[in-house]
C-alpha cells in the first residue's frame, strides 16, 4: 500500500473515438491497478474519475466512494464517449469542479496534494497551455501520460515541472499495465516536500531523504535558501536599449516607443517613415513624425484646411506686417496703404493722422471657452490695432474695455487711461475668463454702466458720439434683441464683429443701420486684419471734436458735402444737356418744314 500520506487524485481519461474498445479496457486496468495500491478512505487518499472527448463526464467525484471495490465497479461500468479530444476543456473542469470542496477536495490549508493524472492517446483539439498553467497555479500537480499517438509537445505543455518526472509516453496500450507499476512507484515514493513544512516560496524539489527549493524562471534563490527575488536584467544599465528595456525571466529585450521599430542590432530604434508608404497625398512635402505624418508647403505657400494642398501665402495674414491701416499682399511680399486723404509715413507703415472727430468707444469682447487662450491673445492684438487708429486723450477719444463669458467684467472704464500706450498695455494684461457666452448680459452692462458719466462717458449735451463694438465667436446663450435695441435707442452706434462660429443673425441684430456698414465677419482668428480696415472706414463720426466747429477734409461731413456738391453739378449738367437736346429737336423739325415747302413750290 502507498502510505506516504493522504492525496486527492483525479483520473482524467481520454475516451475519444481514436481509442478503440480493447484499448480503453487497458486504460480501465491501469486505473484499477493504481487504485489497488492506494490507501483509500475519507481521511486517507480520495479518488475521482472523469472521462472526456468532445464533452466532459464525471464518473465519480472525490466524495463519492471510499472503498476500492466501489471504485472498481464504477470504472468497469464506464461507457466511452467516442467523440473528439477536448483536453483543455477537461483540465478546465478539473480545476473549476473536480477539485472543489463541493466535490470532496480537502481545503488548501490542510496541504493535501491535489494530483490530476491525464491519460490521452492523441493531440488535443483545443488549447491546453493556458488552462494547464492556471490549474498548476491553483495548486494542482499534473501528470501527463501519453499513449501511442500522443503529442509530446502537448504533454509537456500540460504537465507540472520538473517535466522529466511528470511527462510519460507509453509506446502502446499493451505496455500501459507495465508502465502502471513504474508510475505507482513514482506516485508513492516518499516525498519530503509533502512530509514536512519545506517553506519554499516557489517550488520544492524532493531528493532521497531531503529536499531543496527552486525559484520560477526569472527569479533567483535568496541566501535563506527558500525565498525568491526577481532578476531584473535591465537594472544594471548595461542593456544598451535606446528606448525601453523589458525584463523577461532573467533576461531582457529592447522595445521602442510607438512610431518606431527595433533595428537589426535589437537595441536601437528607428522612426517609421510613414511618408515612404506613398499614400500621403501631400501636394508639396510630406514630413514623418512618430505615429503618422503631416504635409508641409514650400516657402510662400499656406497649407489648406484639407491638410494636403497648398496655396500661395497672403503675407498680410501670415506676418506681423505692422501696417497701421491696410496691408496689400503681392507675390512673395507686401506693402502698406493709407486711407484716401492720408499719406504713408517714412516708416512705410504708419499714416498721417486724420483730424477726425473724437468718440467715446467701448469694446465688448467675448471671453468664452470656445475662443481658446491662443485666439484670445489674437483678439487682444485686434483691440490694440483699433486703438492705434485713434487719437486717445482726455479731451479726445476715450476707450473702455469689457470682457464677458457667463458673467461680465469691466476691464477698464472710459476714464481710466489717457493715452494709447496705457490702453494697449492694459489690454495685453487682460486675463482670459473662459466659460459661457452671455452676450445679452454684456450688452445690458454696456448700456447701464459702461456709457455712464460715472465711468467716464461725456454728457450727451457735449455731442460726443458713443460707439459700442461687440466682438464674439459664437451663438449667445441668452437673448440679445432687447438690449441691442435699447443700446441703439440710447444713441449708441453699434458695431458687431464676428469670427468663426458667430451667428450672422445675431450680428445683424446688434449692428446699427445701415447694417452692412456696421457688422463684419472673419472665418478665422488669424485672418482678422480686414476687420480692422472695415472698422476704420466706418467709425468716422458725424460730428467733429464735440462742440468745436472745425471742419477737416478727412471728416465724414466734409466728404458728404463734397459728394453732395458733385452730384448737384452733375445734375445741372444733365439738365443743360436735356435743354440742348430739346432745342436741337425743335430746329430739326423746322428744317424739315422748310424742305417740304420748297418741294411743294417746285
What number of H helices and E strands is found in the chain?
16, 26
How high is the pLDDT of residue 534?
A: 63
Q: What are the phi and psi torsion angles at 28 (to 5°)?
A: -60, -45
pLDDT in tens, 90-143: 999 999 999 999 999 999 887 888 999 999 988 899 999 999 999 999 999 999
**pLDDT category of residue 232 using cuts at 50, 70 and 90:** confident
How high is the pLDDT of residue 557?
A: 52
Residue 453 has pLDDT above 80, yes or no: yes
Is the CB of residue 370 less than 8 Å from the CB of residue 501?
yes
Sign of CA dihedral 188, 189, 190, 193: negative
Q: What are the phi and psi torsion angles at 490 (to 5°)?
A: -80, 5
Arithmetic mean of pLDDT, 258-262: 89
pLDDT in tens, 179-226: 666 566 666 656 677 777 889 999 887 654 567 788 888 788 999 999
Arithmetic mean of pLDDT, 358-367: 92
User: Does the N-terminal peptide bond of residue 448 adopt cis geometry, omega within 30 degrees of 0?
Assistant: no
Per-residue three-class SS string for 524-547: CHHHCHHHHHHHHHHCCCCCCCCC
Overall pTM surpassing 0.85 (yes/no)? no
The C-alpha cell that represents 433 in the structure block: 475668463
**Stretch among 44-58, 120-134, 522-536, 563-577 having the lowest mean pLDDT:** 563-577
Residue 545 has pLDDT above 50, yes or no: no
Arithmetic mean of pLDDT, 283-302: 87
User: Does the N-terminal peptide bond of residue 228 adopt cis geometry, omega within 30 degrees of 0?
Assistant: no
What's the half-sphere exposure (Cβ side, CA atoms, 13 Å) at 252?
Answer: 20
**pLDDT category of residue 563 using cuts at 50, 70 and 90:** low
pLDDT in tens, 493-504: 999 998 888 888
Residue 398 has pLDDT above 90, yes or no: yes
29 vs 569: CA distance, rounded Å: 131
Three-state secondary-structure class, residue 386: helix
Which domains, ranges and CATH numbers included, belong to the chain?
A: 7-187 (3.40.50.410), 193-230 (2.10.25.10), 314-354 (2.10.25.10), 360-539 (3.40.50.410)
How high is the pLDDT of residue 569?
A: 55
Length of the chain: 602
**Per mean pLDDT, which of 149-158, 245-254, 424-433, 520-529 is the most reliable?**
424-433
Helix (H) or strand (E) holding 40: none
Arithmetic mean of pLDDT, 300-314: 84
The set of residues, in sequence order, having a beta carbon less than 8 Å from that of 184 and lying 6+ positions away, is 2, 33, 34, 37
The C-alpha cell that represents 96 in the structure block: 473549476
pLDDT in tens, 276-285: 888 888 989 9
pLDDT in tens, 136-187: 999 999 999 888 778 899 999 999 998 988 888 877 666 665 566 656 666 6
139 vs 144: CA distance, rounded Å: 16
Amino acid at each position: 500500500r502507498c502510505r506516504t500520506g493522504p492525496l486527492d487524485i483525479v483520473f482524467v481519461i481520454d475516451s475519444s473515438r481514436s481509442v478503440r474498445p480493447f484499448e480503453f479496457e487497458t486504460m480501465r486496468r491501469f486505473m484499477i491497478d493504481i487504485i489497488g495500491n492506494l490507501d483509500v478512505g475519507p481521511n486517507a487518499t480520495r479518488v475521482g474519475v472523469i472521462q472526456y472527448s468532445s464533452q466532459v463526464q464525471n464518473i465519480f467525484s472525490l466524495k463519492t466512494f471510499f472503498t476500492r471495490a466501489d471504485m472498481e465497479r464504477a470504472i468497469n461500468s464506464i461507457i466511452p464517449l467516442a467523440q473528439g479530444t477536448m483536453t483543455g476543456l477537461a483540465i478546465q473542469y478539473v480545476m473549476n469542479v473536480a477539485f472543489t470542496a463541493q466535490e470532496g477536495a480537502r481545503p488548501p490549508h490542510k496541504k493535501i496534494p491535489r494530483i490530476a493524472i491525464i491519460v490521452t492517446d492523441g493531440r488535443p483539439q483545443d488549447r491546453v497551455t493556458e488552462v494547464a498553467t492556471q490549474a498548476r497555479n491553483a495548486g494542482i500537480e499534473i501528470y501527463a501520460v501519453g499513449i501511442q499517438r500522443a503529442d509530446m509537445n502537448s504533454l509537456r505543455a500540460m504537465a507540472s515541472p520538473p517535466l522529466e518526472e511528470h511527462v510519460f509516453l507509453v509506446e502502446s496500450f499493451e505496455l500501459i499495465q507495465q508502465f502502471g507499476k513504474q508510475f505507482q512507484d513514482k506516485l508513492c515514493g516518499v516525498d519530503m516536500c509533502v512530509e514536512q513544512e519545506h517553506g519554499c516560496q516557489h517550488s520544492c524539489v524532493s531528493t532521497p531523504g531531503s529536499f531543496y527549493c527552486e525559484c520560477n524562471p526569472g527569479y533567483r534563490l535568496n541566501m535563506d535558501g527558500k525565498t525568491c527575488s526577481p532578476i531584473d536584467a535591465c537594472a544594471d544599465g548595461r542593456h544598451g536599449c535606446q528606448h525601453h528595456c523589458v525584463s523577461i525571466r532573467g533576461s531582457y529585450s529592447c522595445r521602442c516607443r510607438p512610431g518606431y521599430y527595433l533595428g537589426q542590432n535589437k537595441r536601437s530604434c528607428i522612426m517609421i517613415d510613414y511618408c515612404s508608404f506613398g499614400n500621403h497625398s501631400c501636394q508639396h512635402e510630406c514630413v514623418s513624425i512618430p505615429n503618422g505624418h503631416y504635409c508641409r508647403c514650400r516657402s510662400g505657400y499656406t497649407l489648406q484646411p484639407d491638410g494636403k494642398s497648398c496655396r500661395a501665402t497672403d503675407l498680410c495674414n501670415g506676418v506681423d506686417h505692422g501696417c497701421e491701416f491696410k496691408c496689400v499682399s503681392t507675390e512673395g511680399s507686401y506693402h502698406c496703404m493709407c486711407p484716401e486723404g492720408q499719406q504713408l509715413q517714412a516708416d512705410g507703415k504708419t499714416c498721417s493722422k486724420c483730424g477726425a472727430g473724437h468718440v467715446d468707444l467701448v469694446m465688448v469682447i467675448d471671453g468664452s471657452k470656445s475662443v481658446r487662450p491662443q485666439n484670445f491673445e489674437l483678439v487682444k492684438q485686434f483691440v490694440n490695432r483699433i486703438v492705434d487708429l485713434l487719437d486717445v486723450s482726455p479731451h479726445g477719444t476715450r476707450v473702455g474695455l469689457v470682457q464677458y463669458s457667463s458673467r461680465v467684467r469691466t476691464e477698464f472704464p472710459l476714464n481710466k487711461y489717457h493715452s494709447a500706450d496705457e490702453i494697449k498695455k492694459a489690454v495685453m494684461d487682460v486675463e482670459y475668463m473662459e466659460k459661457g457666452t452671455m452676450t445679452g448680459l454684456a450688452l445690458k452692462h454696456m448700456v447701464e454702466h459702461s456709457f455712464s458719466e460715472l465711468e467716464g462717458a461725456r454728457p450727451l449735451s457735449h455731442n460726443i458720439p458713443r460707439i459700442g463694438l461687440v466682438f464674439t465667436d459664437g451663438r449667445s446663450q441668452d437673448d440679445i434683441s432687447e438690449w441691442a435695441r435699447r443700446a441703439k435707442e440710447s444713441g449708441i452706434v453699434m458695431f458687431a464683429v464676428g469670427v468663426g462660429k458667430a451667428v450672422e443673425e445675431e450680428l445683424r441684430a446688434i449692428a446699427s443701420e445701415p447694417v452692412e456698414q456696421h457688422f463684419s465677419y472673419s472665418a478665422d482668428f488669424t485672418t482678422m486684419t480686414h476687420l480692422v480696415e472695415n472698422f476704420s472706414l466706418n467709425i468716422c463720426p458725424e460730428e467733429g471734436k464735440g462742440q468745436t466747429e472745425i471742419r477737416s477734409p478727412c471728416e465724414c461731413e466734409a466728404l458728404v458735402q463734397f459728394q453732395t456738391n458733385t452730384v448737384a453739378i452733375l445734375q445741372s449738367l444733365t439738365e443743360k444737356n436735356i435743354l440742348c437736346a430739346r432745342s436741337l429737336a425743335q430746329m430739326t423739325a423746322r428744317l424739315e418744314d422748310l424742305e417740304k415747302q420748297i418741294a411743294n413750290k417746285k
